[in-house]
Structure 1
Amino acid sequence: MATFARHWRVPAPSLLVLAGIGVALIPGVPALHVPPQTIALVVLPPLLYASAEELSLRDLRVVWRPVTILAFGLVFASAAAVGFAAVALTGLPPAMAFVLGAILASTDPVAVTALGRRLALPGRVQVLVQAESLFNDATSLVLFKVAIGIAVATGAGASLPAAGAEFLILGGGGSVIGAGVAGLVWLIRRRTSEPVLETVIALVTPYAAYVVAESAHTSGVTAVVVAGVLLGRSSHRLTDAHIRLQLHAVYAVVVFLLESIVFSIVGLELPELVRNLSGGSGWWPLQALAVAVVLIAVRVICTLPLTRAVKPSKGGLSWRVAGVVTWAGTRGVMPLAAALSIPLVANNGTALAGRPLVLALTTAVIVFTLVVQGLTLSTVVNRSGLALEPEHTAREEADAQDALNQAALDHIEQLTGMEAVPETTIDRIRRALTARLDRSGDGPDITPVDLPYRQLRREVIAVQNTELHRLYDEHRISDTTRRRLQHDLDREEAALGGR
Structure 2
Amino acid sequence: MRAVGTVLLLVILATAVAAFARNRRIPAPSLLVLAGVAAAAIPGTPAIRIPPQTIALVVLPPLLYASAEELSPRDLRTVWRPVTVLALGLVLASAAAVGVLAAAVTPLSGAMAFVLGAVLASTDPVAVSALGRRLALPGRVQVLIQAESLFNDATSLVLFKVAIAAAVAGGTVGVGHAAGEFALLAGGGTALGAAVAGLVALIRRRTTDPVLETVIALVTPYAAYVLAESAHTSGVTAVVVAGVVLGTSGHRLTDARIRLQLSAVYAVVVFLLESVVFAIVGLELPTLVRDLPPGTGNWPLQALAVAAALIALRIAWMLPLSAAVRPAEGPASWRAAGVITWAGTRGVMPLAAALSIPLTTHGGTPLPGRELVLVLTTAVVVLTLVVQGLTLSPLVNRSGLALEPEHTAREESTARTALTRAALAHVDLLTTLETHPRPALDRLRHTLTARLDSTPDDPLTPTYRDLRREVIAIQTTELRRLYDTHAISDTTRRRLQHDLDREEAGLGDG
TM-score range (shorter-chain normalised) is: over 0.9
Identity %: 73
Inter-partner Cα distance in structure 2 for 1:384 and 1:195: 44
1:52 aligned residue: 68
Inter-partner Cα distance in structure 1 for 2:352 and 2:433: 64
1:427 and 2:442 equivalent?
yes
Count of aligned pairs: 494
8 Å Cα contact 1:304/1:317 also seen in 2: no
1:167 and 2:182 equivalent?
yes
CA deviation vs aligned residue, 1:92-142 (integer Å, no higher than 9, x gap) = 111000100000000000000011101011110011010010000000000
1:455 aligned residue: 466
8 Å Cα contact 1:96/1:151 also seen in 2: yes
Match of 2:360 among 330, 345, 366: 345
TM-superposed deviation, 1:354:
0.9
1:11 aligned residue: 27
1:180 and 2:191 equivalent?
no
Moved more, 161-170 or 410-419: 410-419
1:109 aligned residue: 125
2:239 aligned residue: 224
2:88 aligned residue: 72
Normalising by structure 2, we get a TM-score of 0.95
1:442 aligned residue: 456
1:331 aligned residue: 346
CA deviation vs aligned residue, 1:212-259 (integer Å, no higher than 9, x gap) = 100001100000000000010000111110010000000000111111
2:506 aligned residue: 495
1:62 aligned residue: 78
CA deviation vs aligned residue, 1:67-97 (integer Å, no higher than 9, x gap) = 0110000000000010111111112111000
Match of 1:147 among 163, 168, 182: 163
Inter-partner Cα distance in structure 1 for 2:309 and 2:329: 30
2:144 aligned residue: 128
1:259 and 2:270 equivalent?
no
TM-superposed deviation, 1:353:
1.2
8 Å Cα contact 1:417/1:423 also seen in 2: no
TM-superposed deviation, 1:302:
1.0
2:373 aligned residue: 358
8 Å Cα contact 2:331/2:401 also seen in 1: no
Letter in 1 for 2:354: A
Inter-partner Cα distance in structure 2 for 1:249 and 1:7: 19
Inter-partner Cα distance in structure 2 for 1:291 and 1:321: 23
Inter-partner Cα distance in structure 1 for 2:256 and 2:333: 42
2:216 aligned residue: 201
Structure-to-structure mapping, 1:243-392, within 5 angstroms: 243-313=258-328, 318-392=333-407
Match of 2:48 among 14, 32, 35: 32
Structure-to-structure mapping, 1:408-427, within 5 angstroms: 408-427=423-442
TM-superposed deviation, 1:158:
1.6
Match of 1:393 among 381, 399, 408: 408
User: Root-mean-square deviation (CA), in Å?
Assistant: 1.2
Inter-partner Cα distance in structure 2 for 1:379 and 1:85: 30
Inter-partner Cα distance in structure 2 for 1:109 and 1:146: 22
Moved more, 416-425 or 379-388: 416-425
8 Å Cα contact 2:330/2:401 also seen in 1: no
Inter-partner Cα distance in structure 1 for 2:223 and 2:40: 34
Inter-partner Cα distance in structure 1 for 2:331 and 2:391: 26
8 Å Cα contact 1:321/1:386 also seen in 2: yes
Letter in 1 for 2:368: A
Normalising by structure 1, we get a TM-score of 0.97
Moved more, 458-467 or 302-311: 302-311
Inter-partner Cα distance in structure 2 for 1:30 and 1:217: 35
8 Å Cα contact 1:307/1:317 also seen in 2: no
- Mark the CA change 1:315 to 1:492 in structure 2 (over 3 Å): closer, same or farther: closer
CA deviation vs aligned residue, 1:121-167 (integer Å, no higher than 9, x gap) = 1110011010010000000000000000000112x122110010011
8 Å Cα contact 1:109/1:134 also seen in 2: yes
SS in 1 for 2:323: helix
TM-superposed deviation, 1:316:
10
Question: Any gaps of 5 or more consecutive residues in structure 2?
Answer: 1-16
2:12 aligned residue: none
Inter-partner Cα distance in structure 2 for 1:223 and 1:241: 27
1:483 and 2:494 equivalent?
yes
Inter-partner Cα distance in structure 1 for 2:401 and 2:21: 24
Moved more, 7-16 or 213-222: 7-16
